[in-house]
Amino acid sequence: MSHARTPTTARQATSAGPLPRTIVTGASSGIGRALALELARRGVPVLAVARHAEPLQALADAHELIEPWVADLSRIDEMDGLAAQWLLRYPDIGALVNNAGIQHDLRVDDAGYTAQDMRAEVELNLLAPMALTRALLPHLQAQQRAWVVNVGSVLGSCPKRTAAVYSATKAGLDLFTQALRVQMQGSPVRVVHAVMPLVDTPMTRGRGRGKIPPDVAAQALVRGLLAGHTDIRIGKARAAWHLQRWAPGLLARMLRTA
Ligand SMILES: NC(=O)c1ccc[n+]([C@@H]2O[C@H](COP(=O)([O-])OP(=O)(O)OC[C@H]3O[C@@H](n4cnc5c(N)ncnc54)[C@H](OP(=O)(O)O)[C@@H]3O)[C@@H](O)[C@H]2O)c1
């Protein structure tokens, strides 16, 4: 399959029009970095958030529409204050992409895998998107059009052997996204679930086959958003979704050993 034709899918589809200023979390690397650049290239101002200042500054230097913001999103108690600072500085914020994530590629009974490691995965992958969404919602609901985009994984519906907690966080994020979408019906806020296949980033370094480049994943995500899609399954994530419906045993066997 050609990368340029990486497919996306949608359950609801209405035209999205141009996107407003967008917060991209986890923008210092991988998919988030590619997404920030893709949005900026399309004229969308981006607030690029992550912990490491240096790669964020390099990203901001690469495009004038990208502003860096250093923050540790695992500090859940600080999310309200962080959102307030963002809105004070950038009152035109209209979209939040919850992309920052970590994965410990370990079995639960692995001696080196601690309860703190588990907490870190749950806090960043699940609690942070929920807390940030909660903090920004009153502002987003007051916009003419706004977006909350949660970056999910195929592993959120079919877990991998060595990523039980990560898979659980992505499953939780999927259900949170679905519930929020119901809550936001009739409001200007579109709630989007973007499901990634295996993407070639630092998170997947040294493992997996058939990975797609992060810029290809980012382009597919932005195309889906601009087309008004709310369930965006990128590349093999779409095939996985069909497999799960029609041959769940086969998909489980494939992913268990991925
Ligand atoms: N790669 C894949 O195959 C794949 C597949 C399915 C889903 N996904 C999802 O796609 C998203 C991006 O993954 P990726 O592959 O691009 O990973 P990545 O290259 O490792 O990037 C992760 C990003 O998260 C940021 N981050 C980590 N801890 C943070 C914290 N405490 N506070 C703020 N930012 C933090 C990192 O920046 P700092 O270290 O500078 O903070 C980095 O920018 C994740 O949600 C991941 O679960 C990826």
Q: Left if phi > 0, otherwise alpha if psi is -120 to 50, otherwise beta: which for 136?
A: alpha
**pLDDT tens for residues 246-258?**
877 877 777 766 6
**pLDDT tens for residues 77-133?**
999 999 999 999 999 999 999 999 999 999 999 999 999 999 999 999 999 999 999
Residue 145 lies in a domain: yes
Atom of ligand 1 nearest to the CA of 31: 16
Residue 2 lies in a domain: no
Q: How far is it, in rounded angstroms, from Cα 95 to Cα 248? A: 34
The token duo for 83 is 């959102």
Q: How far is it, in rounded angstroms, from Cα 146 to Cα 94? A: 5
The token duo for 49 is 């958030």
Distance of CA 11 to CAs 19, 99, 198, Å? 20, 21, 22
Give the number of domains in the chain. Answer: 1
Residue 18 lies in a domain: yes
Q: How far is it, in rounded angstroms, from Cα 193 to Cα 179? A: 11
CB atoms within 10 A of CB 115: 7
Q: For residue 130, give the CATH number of its domain.
A: 3.40.50.720
Q: Looking at residue 134, what is its pLDDT? A: 98
Residue 1 lies in a domain: no
Cα pseudo-dihedral 229, 74, 48, 52, rounded to 10: -140
Residue 210 lies in a domain: yes
16 lines ligand 1 (CB under 6 A): no
- Ligand 1 centre to CA of 33 (Å) is 10
Q: pLDDT exceeding 70 applies to what percent of the chain?
A: 92
Q: Looking at residue 18, what is its pLDDT? A: 81
Q: Are 98 and 149 in contact (CB under 8 A)?
A: yes
Task: Please measure the distance between the N-terminal and C-terminal CA atoms of the chain and give it in whole angstroms.
Answer: 20
Residue 67 lies in a domain: yes
Q: What is the pTM of this model?
A: 0.93
153 lines ligand 1 (CB under 6 A): yes
Active site residue 113: no
Domain residues for the domain of 128 are: 7-256
Residue 117 lies in a domain: yes
Residue 64 lies in a domain: yes
Q: Looking at residue 12, what is its pLDDT? A: 39
